[in-house]
Structure 1
């Protein structure tokens, strides 16, 4: 049975406050009139109106015994009834009253029609969903939409289980019917011990890719070839929706060999086939990723060799300069030509002779520029066979009309086995850079040829580049698929444009949209130019170089320091498990955890297990150390099992969202911010090297990944990603706002310098997000004029280029097609920004987003340099997220701070476990601080709103991290006091 807490089934979750009572449970005059017409006596009238108001809130009639007393009391007070009046009715009267309420509210009672609607909606949803709680939510939404009464939760649960079983059984049976005997035998053999490996083939499928070393690259290619040899998977799964395949694959990965072997054959084969299909997709992604990294490694080695050669040639260059100096000195002596020639020859002879010096000149000349491309062959040749094998195994195609690279690839594969030095120049090199063309082409007496070796490296380099930009795609991949297929067609977008433009206040035509942008840029620039003499923030010197004046640093206020010290003195000592237990009492956040099947957990003391698990993984102790410190309360295997089978990244997000929503109801955080702004920043976490996520980070040093946090201006963490070090962080800056389902919905986003990419500015603008990053080297960025003929009196030297408005107007449809596809949930912003973050001369989408981003970034830069308050706001917000990074890492004290997981999904979960622990502590601190501030105010301690605003919930001195940990769920904390009724003085009061 699914747990009611994990569904949207309406119920009395918590006691309503006075505002909710007035808004929801106050009967109208018409409702009171109906009650007096139908019911007789005060008790019956009170019962009727209580049923009506509860039905309006819940959608069904609850037992009178389950209605909170505060609701009954409120309705009784609204009717001016005596305090001793209680809602009572006979059973027959109760049925009559329920019928009248349904008729008055125009609600259809739950019967055959409503049951048919529920079954139909669940059956349709079950084609792509599998979690019973999600399916129950679908049925609830459909019944409410059609004005139907909701049945008992158990009725919906039984209905959903029957329909879900029917749908899944249909899929299982379909696959079973299409399986041939030899295919069934092959699938059964996956669960048997392998003759070629130490583990079963089932476990081999689940193995994760290692670091992109050459040996690991070949191992992954071998695994992909083996997966392809299993054959027939796509045929057998035809007709099964991709969402179901993903769910079945995830369920299979969470099981071990013995567990999956206990299922009936139809379900077992479906799980195995789904896992094979997803493993093939992921392996393609990993192969492309390794290919890109291998090519990047080859180029890195080439650059390093060029630098080494330059170092080696430095002494030769100094010697040649001294030779030239000697020759020039001899020339200055005004000797006749015959004597001078003889002395020059003597100088050259003493330095090794003409031929020796010429060789040195040629060696230096060949590496004088930045062209390291001729040096790549020696580093490429070891990878050659593996790269060719990879390209032949993948189906690569182009997303653009330009076929030059695909023609070159075909030409390269045709000549793969040739060992000649030169190939006929019979193809176009338009895909390559000028430097590559010079390196590849060779002129001989017989004509123009291609250097075979350099041509191979050139083609593979360009393949890697265009796979990153999305100019090429891999069929059957996920991360490197054709992004165009994920977008809505323009025919689907066209009906949405008008409403979207009205919502975003855009002009709904290409000409109007572009003119609106042009006017905005023009107006902003003119305003900044006009106010320049009175601004005083930006100073442009005679050479046209702008300089920003630094704001005066604000010293800490003594009152704030004293108040913070006083609060620390009153804060009770707490440990992390105690805090998690308190938050569980308040919110029941562990209800979001449970088996992947969606059923209730069949664990002994599940809440206790989930809290211990969250503590152990959130603090990076891991299952072994957590088990040791819990005095044998749980085993290492149990913790690992629960993490693997009961907790996903999505479930952690839901638990975190519950904490954020509760936090948002408290008064104290509203002193720190209004929730309309958030800041994003990344912090490095150490990883082991043997995985594809781990990369060396130049700025931080060492191997690891980046936890990219989005933190509200109220200090609470809203969302986090775990990304590789080599990825531009801003790619994920918008994803978090799209995935954030909490009550805090910011529309302004601050970031560090990583957030200043033009495509990110463009996409944020189209989505109605105000992107305002802190830009360190803003003077290195280009300011774009609205028009080449526009000249400004004071700030003209800032601008060095002009916007191509014609390009924006031409690709207006492309821009709106992308943003409407994102709004419809067809594609994530990061999926597109990963492509658009790399320069592409072919991709029209990149060019359009780059041009729009130039407009928006120029507008922001003009505002940034002219508004000190804006800069202070950005600095304050980014300081909060940086403070959160340090605060959260304080809890990540286990395992020497290293995430000891090579699975990207588990790495992501570790960061979310950490966020869950951090947010629980923040919530507990706010509850404690609220009580302390109220107590201090009642005792006569004076402090202003500004004093309170300077505080932070990132307090840790009272938190105990080490020692044996004891969990006590029987010790219930006091209820949350959200109201900060503090008599704080205003700043101007005496």
Structure 2
């Protein structure tokens, strides 16, 4: 301070500090403090939107609609909401206030006076949440129907229940389910308590008496590092087009790409054009660049994309490759097709796409999105990839498990922390999948019980709470109807979970699923804390997904590895083509690795099954991904003998040509 005062006088320093305090935002500043000035230019558009759309409340009373009707009535008289009671002519009108939450009230209400901008903005925010959740439907819309409209009709679900055709993994009685969970939780609590410090890999106590999970030790055999390069060194070099066509001879995976109208599979040159189009899309080269690298024109390539490459044909072709790898003898060393994982692959977006978002953690100063993929334990992708936001992974974790069209029988599914919520735990249990995420800081998560079970010994340091079992019992049939609707394909899991997660909670079903998810997560965590083999299995499953991403990034090298499609549908289309190429490389490598291992064993090599389990069919060093460059001398080309320029037709010439053609 003395050094500062030698350079600046004390009155000047005090004045500077006071002026700086005037510029600081208060500590309790809410983002709503900044909204009033930004609402004004959008007001007329929002009101016009409200008046143009047919909002249909599911319940009799909807405070947001009541408030906006009141605003519209006043707007017709060129008035705004400025007080709780307003006299318009001889009529006294009372403003509806039911839509104002505690957060909005401190901005919108000042005694009997009302801030019109905050009043209206609050109504629109509540309307947005109610539309997203399904409490308010939009007439004529498929995406914003009433929540009930997404589910199986109640009479039909009752009929399925009577015939035991709900295709669910839980009993019809909530009491039986809760009794099983209570017994399971008690058994695992006792087992965990007895394993602390005694069972290898289970919870341990540090010197201060705090619980911690010991890290997993590496268990990859040393032989893997020696055998992997030897096996891949034996694989023949191959160009990617030759790989795809050779694989089609084995599997016929190009047959599902039928013509949109005739239903005919591509043959002859049409098949070759299809392969070129798939490579142009899946490698992110684009059809224009692909035209320069192959003997086919842009028109031929785009024709193949338009008439043969569709999401349903891509999914059927991917399922064909998955089944081929699953039936290969070598795949038994990797898994049996019963476990899988989901993870997102962050992709930069190089254009102004509506779904691209800023996220400095993943994209720096740019924008990007997330390709959410599903990987089976046999090192192949399955199901349809989704292009989603970076914080939406939990909404899509279940989608591919129910509808992937392959012979995979997934029973256990892994995700990272971003893909786990209580709703995912609950729906996975209802649908018969074991959900096993890798949860960051798992020891800080609450454990939930149905009833108090007394002392837990060293486990008392964990946080325990109770679930609302009454709510689970009351909403049991509705939760089962939600899950059965997903299983029967009435609605996708991602769409329904988006509705369930919308703010505010639209019905008791969402709360009941949360309570059920708390129970399922507790059962899982009690085993997760005790069983190192489970934690290792989860880690291996997630690492297989990361290995698929590594190959995908090598294939997706066009446009600097950035997505350049503005439309979400085009981005999904490109991601699906990429996944098909990844599966094709894995399938081709599987066959040639089988031959390589057989040759090594004939030569006296002793290759253990544990070694094969860690050698993935995802290598690409032997595959020519960039084509061939041709080098030939160019005689006769000098500054006086340049190549002729291409003819560019003028605008007038184009118009004349079009007129002659017409």
Decide: shared fold, TM above 0.5: yes
Are the structure 2 counterparts of residues 435 and 860 from structure 1 closer, same or farther at C-alpha, using a change threshold of 3 Å?
Answer: same
Are the structure 2 counterparts of residues 351 and 927 from structure 1 closer, same or farther at C-alpha, using a change threshold of 3 Å?
Answer: closer
CA distance in structure 1 between the aligned counterparts of 2:212 and 2:29, rounded to whole angstroms: 32
Which of 192, 203, 215 is residue 550 of structure 1 equivalent to? 215
CA contact (8 A) 2:192 2:529 kept: no
Partner of 2:358: 696
Are the structure 2 counterparts of residues 497 and 424 from structure 1 closer, same or farther at C-alpha, using a change threshold of 3 Å?
Answer: same
CA contact (8 A) 2:445 2:463 kept: no
CA distance in structure 1 between the aligned counterparts of 2:451 and 2:325, rounded to whole angstroms: 49
CA distance in structure 1 between the aligned counterparts of 2:542 and 2:338, rounded to whole angstroms: 14
Tell me the SS of whatever aligns to 2:465.
strand
Tell me the SS of whatever aligns to 1:589.
coil
Which of 931, 936, 948 is residue 612 of structure 2 equivalent to? 948
CA distance in structure 2 between the aligned counterparts of 1:917 and 1:528, rounded to whole angstroms: 45
In the alignment, structure 2 segments of 5+ residues that lack a partner are 86-93, 631-662
CA contact (8 A) 1:684 1:700 kept: yes
CA distance in structure 1 between the aligned counterparts of 2:207 and 2:233, rounded to whole angstroms: 57
CA contact (8 A) 2:170 2:430 kept: no
Are the structure 2 counterparts of residues 911 and 841 from structure 1 closer, same or farther at C-alpha, using a change threshold of 3 Å?
Answer: closer
CA distance in structure 1 between the aligned counterparts of 2:628 and 2:243, rounded to whole angstroms: 15
Q: Deviation at 1:712?
A: 0.7
In the alignment, structure 1 segments of 5+ residues that lack a partner are 1-317, 323-346, 967-990
Moved more, 652-661 or 560-569: 560-569
CA distance in structure 2 between the aligned counterparts of 1:377 and 1:866, rounded to whole angstroms: 53
Please tell me whether Structure 1 or Structure 2 has the larger radius of gyration of its CA atoms: 1
Partner of 1:422: 82
CA contact (8 A) 1:629 1:965 kept: no
TM-score by length of 1: 0.58
Partner of 1:286: none
Partner of 2:101: 433
Q: Deviation at 1:726?
A: 4.8
1:685 matched to 2:347? The reply is yes
Q: Deviation at 1:567?
A: 1.1
Which of 151, 154, 172 is residue 487 of structure 1 equivalent to? 151
Partner of 1:214: none
CA contact (8 A) 1:694 1:724 kept: no
Moved more, 768-777 or 543-552: 543-552
Q: Deviations over 1:131-166 (max 9, x none)?
A: xxxxxxxxxxxxxxxxxxxxxxxxxxxxxxxxxxxx
Partner of 1:629: 293
CA RMSD of aligned residues (A): 3.0
Aligned residue runs from structure 1 range 62-73, under 5 A: none
CA distance in structure 2 between the aligned counterparts of 1:509 and 1:558, rounded to whole angstroms: 52
CA distance in structure 1 between the aligned counterparts of 2:206 and 2:137, rounded to whole angstroms: 49
CA contact (8 A) 1:661 1:743 kept: yes
Tell me the SS of whatever aligns to 1:784.
strand
CA distance in structure 2 between the aligned counterparts of 1:430 and 1:641, rounded to whole angstroms: 56
Q: Deviations over 1:41-61 (max 9, x none)?
A: xxxxxxxxxxxxxxxxxxxxx
Are the structure 2 counterparts of residues 911 and 362 from structure 1 closer, same or farther at C-alpha, using a change threshold of 3 Å?
Answer: closer
Which of 350, 361, 378 is residue 714 of structure 1 equivalent to? 378
Partner of 1:673: 335
1:843 matched to 2:511? The reply is no
Which of 412, 434, 437 is residue 773 of structure 1 equivalent to? 437
Q: Deviation at 1:512?
A: 2.6
CA distance in structure 2 between the aligned counterparts of 1:853 and 1:407, rounded to whole angstroms: 35
Are the structure 2 counterparts of residues 793 and 416 from structure 1 closer, same or farther at C-alpha, using a change threshold of 3 Å?
Answer: farther
Are the structure 2 counterparts of residues 735 and 965 from structure 1 closer, same or farther at C-alpha, using a change threshold of 3 Å?
Answer: farther
CA contact (8 A) 1:624 1:636 kept: yes
CA distance in structure 2 between the aligned counterparts of 1:503 and 1:601, rounded to whole angstroms: 34
Q: Deviation at 1:542?
A: 9.4
Partner of 1:641: 303
Which of 740, 744, 752 is residue 416 of structure 2 equivalent to? 752
TM-score by length of 2: 0.86
Q: Deviation at 1:562?
A: 1.9
Partner of 2:122: 458
Aligned residue runs from structure 1 range 237-256, under 5 A: none
Are the structure 2 counterparts of residues 621 and 841 from structure 1 closer, same or farther at C-alpha, using a change threshold of 3 Å?
Answer: closer
Q: Deviation at 1:603?
A: 8.3
CA distance in structure 2 between the aligned counterparts of 1:698 and 1:551, rounded to whole angstroms: 31
* Alignment coverage as a number of residue pairs: 611
CA distance in structure 1 between the aligned counterparts of 2:503 and 2:455, rounded to whole angstroms: 30
Are the structure 2 counterparts of residues 579 and 361 from structure 1 closer, same or farther at C-alpha, using a change threshold of 3 Å?
Answer: closer
Q: Deviation at 1:862?
A: 1.5
Q: Deviation at 1:544?
A: 8.1
